[in-house]
Structure 1
Amino acid sequence: MMKSFNPLFLLFLCLLLAVGQELTAQNDPEKLQKMADSHYELSKLKMSENGRWLTAWKSYDLNRDTLLIFDSRAPGKPAAYRTKVTNISFPGSNCLLTKSGQRAELLNLEKQTGAYFHGVKRVQALKNKDQFVLHYNAEGDNRFELRHASSDLLNEASRVSSFYLAEDDHIYVVSETENSEFEVLRIRDQVTETVYLSPRKISSLTVDPGGQGIMIHEQNPEDSSPNILYLDLKTKTTWPLNGLLSRPFQRAFTDVISEGRVYSLRLWVQRTKEDTSLVDIWYGNDKGLEEKFYPPTREAYYVWEPKNKKLQPLGNKQLTKSANIGNKRYFLSFDPYLLQDYTKRAPLKLFRYDRLENTYTVIDTLSYSLYTSPDGQDVLYFKNNSWQVYHIPSGTAMTVGGSQLKTPYFTTDDKAVLFDGDDGLWRFDLEDRQLSRTGNFEGTRVRILNESSKPIPGGFNFSRKTVDLEKPLVLELLDSLNNERSYVLWKKGKPKTIIPKTSKRIQYLNYNQAYDCFSWLEEDYNLPPRVVFKAMGKPGRLLYQSNPQDTAILSLKREIVSYTNSDGVPLKGILYYPLNFDHSKQYPMVVHIYQVQSKKRANQYPVAAYGKANNDGFSLRLLLEQGYFVYFPDIVYGDKGTGLSALDCVNHALDAVSSNGLIDHEKIGLIGHSHGGYETNFIATHSSRFAAYVSGAGNSDIVRSYFSFNFNFLSPFYWQYETGQYDMNQSFSDNKDLYFQNNPIHYVDRVNAPILLWTGKNDRNIYWEQTMEFYIGLKRNNKKVVALFYTKEAHALFAPEACRDLTSRVLQWFGYFLKGETNAEWIDQEIKEDAG
């Protein structure tokens, strides 16, 4: 007997069909890519010296080569744009020089007219003149041109192999003559002078900062070692190195100590022949384990006095590295492996070398960065929670101040050191050796932005940071309690506000040499990036608002959640609500974990990342668009160990939002990558609060990892556990229980929710087999698991097709287990008993 048909049943079927189609559409690759392509970021903001013209790159998910050009006198929309641009500069106040492939363009910004130059391989604007240079490719005879910002040709040369811009805006050009000789030309405006001529090919030049001379590197047809000579530009006299040095070398690097007179010389010497012995023997007292895998280029150090025809070696068989600190008598020497035991950052036992007396004196043992004064008289380093200043000539040291002092900057007049840091600026007088606070900014962390920084050559963690107190200082003031920043111009104790205190994210703060024009990018979680311009003494003006079509983001709701862990440590979490959420409904939630996230994630505009922009499968914007809460809790570590501490913090973070009735607390997913992947693995073995997990490239067996070699850091991995990111503060031998209790693989049988694992098989940081072995453990215990192994990818994904694949699968995974979507056959293959 046929039953009567219920029209409500038909309506129900139609609704089911519509919902199924909608769910399918949500994860359609074309629609996801279209969504990602509908939002963009701004980056690399630059400003002309007169403050009128600004440029910024417009970055979509897949397309990142569009340059926007703005006129600060005409806000609202770009004055122009260019595509496929790789670099830019302002050769004059109203001109923009761009390069795209083998084509350069000089754009007159006022007239919006351009002059094009084809076959160009390199362009560069002069720093202090309205001029620029072009270097053409072989089809253009490797021609070199010097042009005015008006595009008028000022000077040129043919058959040019390279050019160098000196600090005084002289240009040094290396070219080949018609007689197959090689010459160095000095060019300034319309004047050309030949300063050197040689039958040997010139490979490179190093110009003295003051322009007194040039180091010339030539290829030597007789052997593989280059010819090096010093040229005095005033007398045109040369002094060769070759008569003073007998050992062969591959490359040489020179650095000024006393211009025209004394230079430091660092040589890459010939490597020994490849070892063909039967066995490679490793000893327990070996230093420099990274050299087992990547044999280094050996280095030799000298002091060279060209005009005196003197060459003096630096270092000895024990102290193999030397550093030029700008002092013609004293140098720093050390053995980088002497104290290396790989339990922490390698400390250095540092020596002062006196080259006049040929003596070595211990300075100290230090583990952090070292900063040198411009005159080479003093060095600063942080040790035992305080700053130490060591006076090189006298060999005396003293303590300056504690951890409230952050980065030191020597003043250019060599009279003082200025520290930024907590509650203000601090000044240490180098003559009377007294510390005082020179700028009072209570309650903030102060950072100097317009400092000058120069690394000490040789690959050491030594640098020279300076500030010029004749100019104003640009300061960032961070209120870490409220995660707010302000920016001020400070000179002789008087601050002027550039940007008032704001919770917005500020990037690419620009200022001209007169410090009267400023520009920056600002954004927030509910505000797309925008360009702001400010003339000093006037309010800031909005020049351009990006993503005007993104009206949905304006209503995005976000909460800062406060909680404590079991140790009473105050923590925060950022909770994002689904876009266009309905107060009458409940929504699933995805929890993203790493370590402390609240300071980095709180004020960032969420763009949809799908292809290139998403290398770990997690896209905040796509999750918000698809109806998820997204939660970023802070995690800190305590005595119970990394995994248990993460579990504790996440539990308290979930408790803090437990009263939110809009969250479906039965449908919460957890996701993490790298260190967050390890935390996800561990929490999955100990928690019953999550309905699904996604773990990317994370350790699963920390005991195995502890005893492995990390090819990303070129070091045994155990330092990461004892004093690095895992912060266990004990060795495995001293507390095996601590490591066992925080090891995910030991509890793999306790995982009680489906888990998606992924990694790249070329991962040099977390070995991909850590993911495979966790998969094996889950499989052995009949747990629901799918593992994705991207054969050509590394610790994070690079190829767009891999990024898209992972992002789609993560969305489908959470959709399947948190929202009941059923359109993923690759998940059915694992979950449904009759699959396959």
Structure 2
Amino acid sequence: MHKLLITLILILMLSYNSNAQKAPNHFFKDSTWSMAKPLAISPDGKWVVIGEHYNNNPRANNTFFINTDSHQKIDLTHFKEFYNNILNEGLVVGRVNKDLTIYSLNKQDSIVKKNIVNFDTFIDKTIVYTLDTNNVFSVYELKKDLTKTKTLIQKTNIKKYYLNNSKNHIILVNNDNELLHIDSKSMKIKKLLNISGEFSYIKWNFTNDAFAIKTNNVVTLINLTNYDIKSTIINEENEIDNFKISFFRNNDMFITYETKTNEKIPQRELVDIWKGNSRLILPSNFQVKYTKKYKAHVFSYLKNNLTELNRHIDNEYINLGIPNLLLIYNQFEFEDFSQITANSEYFLFDITKKNKSTSLTKAWNNSFQTSLDSHYIFYPNKNNKTLELINTKTLKKEHITSVPYNTKLWTIDNQTILYYNKNKLLTYNYVTKKFKTIVELDNSLDITSIIHNKPNEHKLDLKKSFYFTAIHNLDKDNNYIFYFENNKTKTAFQTKDLIDLGRLSKKLTTSNSDNLVFSIENHNMPPKLIRLNKQKADTLFSSNINEKLFNWRKSITVQYKDKDNVILNGFLQYPKNFNPNKKYPMIVYVYDLSFSVSPKNFMIPKKISAKNGFNNALFTENGYFVLFAQTRVTDKGPGISAVNNIKNLLNNTLKKEPSIDHNNLGIYGHSFGGYKSSFISVSTNLFKASVSNAGIHDIVGGLMYRYSNSRKKPDWVRAESVQLNMKEKYSQNPQKYIDNSPIHQAHKSQTAMLLITGLQDENAHWLNTRRMFIALKREQKPVIALFYKNIGHNATTENPIEKYDIATKVLQWFDYHLKDSTKTPWISNGLDYNKYSLTPL
């Protein structure tokens, strides 16, 4: 028997591995279901790149360039590494296999250059930089007619090159360790200096016309406007770690690093000591550790000297670029783990005087923004929820009560900022103290974002055009894109569909911001690709999916109220071939007020397309109603609130749609939804079967009193606030924690529960699921748990086999319980406590 069992295990493992190796190609081979997304737009707006994906393949199966005027489509699926190298005049640079290819979309002609190691492009001048395997660095000026391409520079003996962010200054390093410079304007090569040893660290200044390098312990600053070169030595005998340079706006440098001393930290190989008053808790890896020294220096460009500052792990600095000024703070002083990110008190630090002065109150370390002339610093004051600014010359502070404290700011000039608040775009002149309304929309609209072709810059020129988005503040289905030009605002696009702007990337807007490309979709419409040219909208690409596969889809909205009379929504989707005279089972999807899977997304009814096992299109395709349930946490706690929400929503939904079989209801949730699904399952008999994926089942031991290895801190903030929002410590109301914890209600369960987790999950730790399984098993409740070896909190595109397997088992679970599809051995053999089973896998 023992040998037979081992043989069975080996056969199952070999079978699984064999299928696993073949599975990924099979998943994405069928092109019946495809999704298209815009990937980039050329700087002049003449060509758009589109990726077509089969069955949510993480990589595009087909890549097309589409002409925005003629809609001519060119298939360049074989073209790689081109996204940052799309130029004007229909020119694009990338790789075909290993060869560098310069392709003309307009002429459908190309130049091939072999043996290229690295390449870059300078869009403004239509220039290509290359370095080949023979150490030849070349600069080519491209023409519309590729046969007229000019070779501007060919320099031999080059081993590396570096570009500034603007790509108009090129630094070369040759095999003789000479540092050379090429200015893209003159294309002249100038030797800068000889360097001793290799360097890999280079940092450019604010204006991209000076840079610093480190070679050994020497830091060299080179100003390319006048070829002024200055060096300073970092005198350290011990090894330097975490070396960083940042510039001030006057080309001074702020240099920080750490050195490892020879002083061992005692007992670190033996014991990890956690102290009750610690503001920093990091588990030890029990390797030999040495004390570190934290160092900071300021190099003065004009004085050519180095000033050392006192730096320590709890005495840290932030460089905002303001000459002779830093921010200094203690990142641990107010750390009590009650917030995701602790507030710190920041002070201005005068570098010359080496002292700290004015406090900037408590804020986040990534929330500071400066004016263009460095005379002002803006930051949120969380205490009184206002935006605060300080004049760096007079040290006078001002509270701007009319500006939302957590809003994003754009700098307009040396004395003006722009922001949005509800239906208005406004400017504030912090010198004259005057507000001005730039845009005022209808009161029913809320502005949601500004689309900028350089999204990482907090600078906006109101003399140039830009797009911004808004949403109806009551009917959230109404989405708008507006176009701002010459101080006038015009509606550019309006839809009830879901607008996908990607990451507001500059790749989807042209250099002059006149053109924008995005996609729209809804539950029963695949993504359409839209190009906006000011107010003119043009559909560039529509899906070629046979409409008969999805045009039957139907969705309605069901409203209900929670205990606080807040109006919430449910979104009910109908089964395929719906017959009002029949009864259909229903799956309820629960998460929060918003959804990680939107009811507006066009979903492909394939298992590989499921997100963590849930795919509403797969369910409706297989004869289920699907109800997306908005839920809200009240003062009763997240679990009890969810029960109240779902009861009220189900009551209204069943009244509205009598074809739902109320005796065959299932519920699914992932993460926070997994917690809610678990709690509802053990607290009510509303559902016949449930799936709880990556859920927190034990609020006390699994969250409140757990240390998070991913966040490197205790997790009680996630219980007291954030999503669970218990609003008080366990010691203040232990009964509330117990009453809202699924594991403490497990003995009441009347629902067949499928628990799923990944053994790499550090977010909702997988031990929650194991403990919940044990609690249910102890009371002989119907439960099966799935533990996936290679999954974290989410099954991602890197886990196609697991994604497919989870979706398969979730569908089988609901079919078994809600459709009496009982011929599923892994379920039927695992639930009957009158029999026993082994787990040979």
TM-score normalised by the shorter chain: which range applies?
Answer: 0.7 to 0.9
Q: Deviations over 1:794-829 (max 9, x none)?
A: 222242221111111001001111111123110111
Name the structure 2 match of 1:571: 568
What is the rounded CA distance, in whole Å, between the counterparts of 2:461 and 2:262 in structure 1?
A: 47
What is the rounded CA distance, in whole Å, between the counterparts of 1:600 and 1:424 in structure 2?
A: 31
The answer to whether the 8 A contact 1:330-1:352 is kept is yes
Q: Deviations over 1:729-764 (max 9, x none)?
A: 100111111101111111111111211111111211
Q: CA deviation at 1:157?
A: 3.3
The one-letter amino acid paired with 1:117 is K
Q: CA deviation at 1:35?
A: 9.8
Q: Deviations over 1:190-248 (max 9, x none)?
A: 53332232242232333334354321222x3xxxxx43111233554432220677775
Distance 1:292 1:426, change over 3 A: farther
The answer to whether the 8 A contact 1:592-1:630 is kept is yes
What is the rounded CA distance, in whole Å, between the counterparts of 1:437 and 1:503 in structure 2?
A: 29
Q: CA deviation at 1:638?
A: 0.9
Over the residues paired in the alignment, what is the CA RMSD in angstroms? 2.9
Name the structure 1 match of 2:204: 207
What is the rounded CA distance, in whole Å, between the counterparts of 1:505 and 1:426 in structure 2?
A: 25
Distance 1:392 1:421, change over 3 A: same
Name the structure 1 match of 2:33: 39
What is the rounded CA distance, in whole Å, between the counterparts of 1:71 and 1:741 in structure 2?
A: 60
Distance 1:280 1:603, change over 3 A: closer
Distance 1:30 1:397, change over 3 A: closer
Q: Show structure 2 runs of 5+ residues with no match.
A: 1-22
Distance 1:778 1:124, change over 3 A: same
1:425-574 to 2 correspondences below 5 Å = 425-441=425-441, 442-451=443-452, 465-483=458-476, 484-491=478-485, 493-508=487-502, 510-537=508-535, 539-574=536-571
What is the rounded CA distance, in whole Å, between the counterparts of 1:102 and 1:194 in structure 2?
A: 32
Name the structure 1 match of 2:662: 665
What is the rounded CA distance, in whole Å, between the counterparts of 2:93 and 2:255 in structure 1?
A: 37
Q: Deviations over 1:231-274 (max 9, x none)?
A: 233554432220677775235322221344x2222324337766
The one-letter amino acid paired with 1:269 is T
Name the structure 2 match of 1:325: 320
The one-letter amino acid paired with 2:823 is N
Name the structure 1 match of 2:229: 238
- Is 334-343 or 617-626 further displaced after alignment? 617-626
The answer to whether the 8 A contact 2:559-2:569 is kept is yes
The answer to whether the 8 A contact 2:203-2:211 is kept is yes
Q: CA deviation at 1:542?
A: 1.5
Q: CA deviation at 1:501?
A: 4.7
The answer to whether the 8 A contact 1:723-1:729 is kept is yes
Name the structure 2 match of 1:270: 260
What is the rounded CA distance, in whole Å, between the counterparts of 1:826 and 1:784 in structure 2?
A: 13
The answer to whether the 8 A contact 1:158-1:175 is kept is no
What is the rounded CA distance, in whole Å, between the counterparts of 1:434 and 1:145 in structure 2?
A: 53
Distance 1:576 1:331, change over 3 A: same
2:432 alignment partner, SS class: coil
Distance 1:412 1:315, change over 3 A: farther
Name the structure 1 match of 2:127: 131
What is the rounded CA distance, in whole Å, between the counterparts of 1:656 and 1:736 in structure 2?
A: 34
Q: CA deviation at 1:451?
A: 4.4
Q: Deviations over 1:93-118 (max 9, x none)?
A: 21122336634322210122333334
2:519 alignment partner, SS class: strand
- Is 729-738 or 140-149 further displaced after alignment? 140-149
- Is 146-155 or 348-357 further displaced after alignment? 146-155
Name the structure 2 match of 1:141: 134
2:619 alignment partner, SS class: helix
1:774-813 to 2 correspondences below 5 Å = 774-797=772-795, 798-813=798-813
2:683 alignment partner, SS class: coil
What is the rounded CA distance, in whole Å, between the counterparts of 2:804 and 2:650 in structure 1?
A: 30
The one-letter amino acid paired with 1:673 is H
The answer to whether the 8 A contact 1:721-1:727 is kept is yes
Name the structure 2 match of 1:197: 194
What is the rounded CA distance, in whole Å, between the counterparts of 1:44 and 1:276 in structure 2?
A: 56
Q: CA deviation at 1:645?
A: 0.9
The answer to whether the 8 A contact 1:385-1:402 is kept is no
The answer to whether the 8 A contact 2:378-2:388 is kept is yes
Name the structure 1 match of 2:13: none
Q: Show structure 1 runs of 5+ residues with no match.
A: 1-28, 221-225, 456-463
The one-letter amino acid paired with 2:482 is V
Q: CA deviation at 1:301?
A: 2.8
Q: CA deviation at 1:707?
A: 0.7
- Is 57-66 or 562-571 further displaced after alignment? 57-66
Name the structure 1 match of 2:279: 287
Is residue 2:738 matched to residue 1:722?
Answer: no
Is residue 2:579 matched to residue 1:586?
Answer: no
Distance 1:506 1:761, change over 3 A: closer
TM-score by length of 1: 0.88
Is residue 2:691 matched to residue 1:694?
Answer: yes
The answer to whether the 8 A contact 1:268-1:299 is kept is yes
2:459 alignment partner, SS class: strand
The answer to whether the 8 A contact 1:552-1:579 is kept is no
1:407 alignment partner, SS class: coil
The one-letter amino acid paired with 2:564 is D
Name the structure 1 match of 2:296: 301
Q: CA deviation at 1:465?
A: 2.2
The one-letter amino acid paired with 2:440 is N
Name the structure 1 match of 2:647: 651
The answer to whether the 8 A contact 2:179-2:195 is kept is yes
The one-letter amino acid paired with 1:812 is Q
> Which of 240, 243, 262 is the aligned partner of 1:249?
240
What is the rounded CA distance, in whole Å, between the counterparts of 1:670 and 1:175 in structure 2?
A: 62
What is the rounded CA distance, in whole Å, between the counterparts of 2:389 and 2:766 in structure 1?
A: 45
> Which of 71, 92, 97 is the aligned partner of 1:96?
92
Q: CA deviation at 1:324?
A: 1.4
1:412-427 to 2 correspondences below 5 Å = 412-427=412-427
The answer to whether the 8 A contact 1:424-1:440 is kept is yes
The answer to whether the 8 A contact 1:182-1:199 is kept is no
Name the structure 2 match of 1:677: 674
> Which of 155, 158, 164 is the aligned partner of 1:157?
155
Name the structure 2 match of 1:6: none
What is the rounded CA distance, in whole Å, between the counterparts of 1:34 and 1:184 in structure 2?
A: 48
Q: CA deviation at 1:520?
A: 2.1
Q: CA deviation at 1:718?
A: 0.3
Name the structure 2 match of 1:620: 616
Q: CA deviation at 1:155?
A: 2.1
2:123 alignment partner, SS class: coil
The one-letter amino acid paired with 1:473 is F
Distance 1:708 1:506, change over 3 A: closer
Q: CA deviation at 1:647?
A: 1.3
Is residue 2:175 matched to residue 1:186?
Answer: no
2:785 alignment partner, SS class: strand
The one-letter amino acid paired with 2:831 is I
Q: CA deviation at 1:568?
A: 0.8
Q: CA deviation at 1:171?
A: 3.5
- Percent identity, aligned pairs only? 21
Name the structure 1 match of 2:335: 340
2:569 alignment partner, SS class: strand
Q: CA deviation at 1:362?
A: 4.1
Distance 1:804 1:548, change over 3 A: closer
Distance 1:279 1:799, change over 3 A: same
TM-score by length of 2: 0.87
The answer to whether the 8 A contact 1:422-1:446 is kept is yes
The answer to whether the 8 A contact 1:206-1:214 is kept is yes
What is the rounded CA distance, in whole Å, between the counterparts of 2:162 and 2:338 in structure 1?
A: 44
What is the rounded CA distance, in whole Å, between the counterparts of 1:172 and 1:331 in structure 2?
A: 31
The answer to whether the 8 A contact 1:37-1:62 is kept is no
1:652 alignment partner, SS class: helix
1:658 alignment partner, SS class: helix
The one-letter amino acid paired with 2:652 is A
What is the rounded CA distance, in whole Å, between the counterparts of 1:293 and 1:397 in structure 2?
A: 46
Name the structure 2 match of 1:116: 112
- Is 99-108 or 698-707 further displaced after alignment? 99-108
Distance 1:98 1:397, change over 3 A: same
